[in-house]
Amino acid sequence: MTSLQMSAKEEMVEKFLDAAARGDVVQVTAHLAQMPSIVNQTGYSGWTALMLAARNGHYSVVEKLLSHGCDKYSVNSSSQTAYDIAKFWGHRHISNLLGRTDEGCQRVLPGSEIIPQENYFSREMLDRLSGKRTDKTWLEAKHSDPDTVYLMFSKLSPMVSAPQEDNGARGETRLCRFRYEAVKDLLQKPATVLIFLGVERRKNPSSSSSSQNNGGTWEPPAWFAVGTDEDAVELLKRCREKNCCFPKSPNRDLLKLNEEEAGVVAQARSVLCWHSRYSFCPTCGSSTGLEEAGYKRSCLNSECRSLQGVHNTCYPRVDPVVIMLVVHPDGNQCLLGRKKIFPTGMFSCLAGFVEPGESVEEAVRREVEEESGVKVGPVQYVSCQPWPMPSSLMMGCLAIAVSTDISVDESEIEEARWFSREQVIDSMFKGARPAFSVPPRQTIAHQLIRHWIGINANL
Ligand SMILES: NC(=O)C1=CN([C@@H]2O[C@H](COP(=O)(O)OP(=O)(O)OC[C@H]3O[C@@H](n4cnc5c(N)ncnc54)[C@H](O)[C@@H]3O)[C@@H](O)[C@H]2O)C=CC1
Ligand SMILES: [Mg+2]
Ligand SMILES: [Mg+2]
Ligand SMILES: [Mg+2]
Ligand SMILES: [Zn+2]
- DSSP-based three-state secondary structure for 381: strand
Q: Does the Cβ of 271 fall within 6 Å of ligand 1?
A: no
Q: What is the largest CA-CA distance in the chain?
A: 95
Q: Does the Cβ of 351 fall within 6 Å of ligand 1?
A: yes
- Nearest protein CA to atom 10 of ligand 1, as residue: 352
Q: Residue 256 has what pLDDT?
A: 94
Q: Residue 213 has what pLDDT?
A: 62
Q: In the chain, what percentage of residues exceed pLDDT 70?
A: 90
How many Å lie between the centroid of ligand 3 and the Cα of residue 315? 26
- State ipTM: 0.95
- DSSP-based three-state secondary structure for 272: helix
Nearest to 77 by CA among 47, 98, 54, 50: 47
Residues in the chain: 459
Q: What angle do CA 435, 439, 445 make, to 5 degrees?
A: 110
Average pLDDT of the residues of the chain: 90
Express each pLDDT in 39-90 by its tens digit: 999 988 899 999 999 999 999 999 999 989 888 888 888 888 898 899 888 8
Residue 58 phi/psi, 5-degree rounding, is -95, 90
- Mean pLDDT over 8-18 rounds to 92
Bridge partners for 337 per DSSP: 348, 416
* pLDDT of 430 strictly over 80: no
- What domains can be seen in the chain, in order of their start residue? 3-100 (1.25.40.20), 135-277 (3.90.79), 319-457 (3.90.79.10)
How many Å lie between the centroid of ligand 5 and the Cα of residue 402? 48
| 415 membership: H or E segment, kind and range | strand 415-420
Confidence at 8, pLDDT banded by 50, 70, 90: confident
pTM: 0.81
Q: Which of 40-44, 114-118, 287-291, 428-432 has the highest mean pLDDT?
A: 287-291
CB neighbourhood size of 148 (10 A): 21
Residue 350 phi/psi, 5-degree rounding, is -75, 150
Q: Residue 182 has what pLDDT?
A: 95
Cα separation, 391 vs 281, whole angstroms: 19
Tell me 152's DSSP state: E
Confidence at 163, pLDDT banded by 50, 70, 90: confident
Bridge partners for 419 per DSSP: 334
Tell me 439's DSSP state: P
Can you list the positions of beta strands (E) in 145-191? Answer: 149-154, 157-158, 160-161, 174-175
Least confident range of 64-78, 174-188, 268-282 = 64-78
How many Å lie between the centroid of ligand 3 and the Cα of residue 352? 4
Nearest to 295 by CA among 315, 317, 274, 319: 315
Confidence at 292, pLDDT banded by 50, 70, 90: very high
Q: Does the Cβ of 353 fall within 6 Å of ligand 1?
A: yes
Query: Which residue among 117, 119, 321 has the greatest number of ligand 1 atoms within 8 angstroms of its CB, and so is best to mutate?
Result: 321
Nearest to 278 by CA among 227, 322, 235: 227
Confidence at 257, pLDDT banded by 50, 70, 90: very high
Express each pLDDT in 205-232 by its tens digit: 655 555 666 566 788 999 999 999 999 9
What is the number of the ligand 1 atom nearest to the C-alpha of 385? Answer: 1
Confidence at 458, pLDDT banded by 50, 70, 90: very low
Express each pLDDT in 364-414 by its tens digit: 999 999 999 999 999 999 999 999 999 999 999 999 999 999 999 999 999
CB neighbourhood size of 208 (10 A): 7
Q: Residue 454 has what pLDDT?
A: 80
* pLDDT of 1 strictly over 50: no
How many Å lie between the centroid of ligand 1 and the Cα of residue 277? 18
* pLDDT of 250 strictly over 90: no
Task: Give me the amino acid identity at 298.
Answer: S
Query: Which residue among 322, 342, 353 has the greatest number of ligand 1 atoms within 8 angstroms of its CB, and so is best to mutate?
Result: 353
Express each pLDDT in 333-373 by its tens digit: 999 999 999 999 999 999 999 999 999 999 999 999 999 99
Residue 8 phi/psi, 5-degree rounding, is -65, -40
Q: In the chain, what percentage of residues exceed pLDDT 90?
A: 72
- Mean pLDDT over 168-176 rounds to 77
Q: Residue 459 has what pLDDT?
A: 37
What ligand has the least distance to the C-alpha of 394? 1
- Nearest protein CA to atom 18 of ligand 1, as residue: 352
* pLDDT of 264 strictly over 80: yes
How many Å lie between the centroid of ligand 2 and the Cα of residue 370? 6
